């Protein structure tokens, strides 16, 4: 049995339309070839605290921190 993982973009166009995954496992056994989509893994580092619920983006947080620093400099 032979097994490998391929990027879906390397497959012919008709197969790309059928497989909705970034990677595919290719297995060959006894003359039969099987393509199995590999689902994307969840992020290894889950978000905690103020970012967990999605109410504030990282960009908005950083912009707020910059504004606080500028305000502190102006008050000194």
For residue 46, what pLDDT band results from cuts at 50, 70 and 90?
low
Residue 8: which of 40, 41, 42 has the closest Cα? 40
Q: What is the mean pLDDT of residues 1-12?
A: 90
Whether the pTM exceeds 0.85: the reply is no
Contacts of 55 (CB under 8 A, 6+ apart): none
* pLDDT for the residue numbered 72: 86
* pLDDT for the residue numbered 49: 64
Report d(CA 6, CA 3) in Å as an integer: 10
Tokens of 74: 């102006």
Number of other CB atoms surrounding residue 24 within 10 Å: 20
Number of other CB atoms surrounding residue 8 within 10 Å: 17
């Amino acid at each position: 049995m032979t097994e490998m993982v391929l990027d879906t973009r390397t497959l012919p166009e008709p197969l790309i339309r059928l497989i909705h995954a970034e990677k595919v496992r290719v297995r060959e056994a006894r003359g039969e070839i099987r393509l199995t989509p590999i689902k994307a893994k969840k992020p290894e580092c889950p978000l905690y605290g103020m970012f967990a619920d999605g109410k504030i983006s990282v960009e908005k947080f950083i912009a707020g921190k910059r504004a606080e620093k500028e305000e502190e400099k102006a008050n000194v």
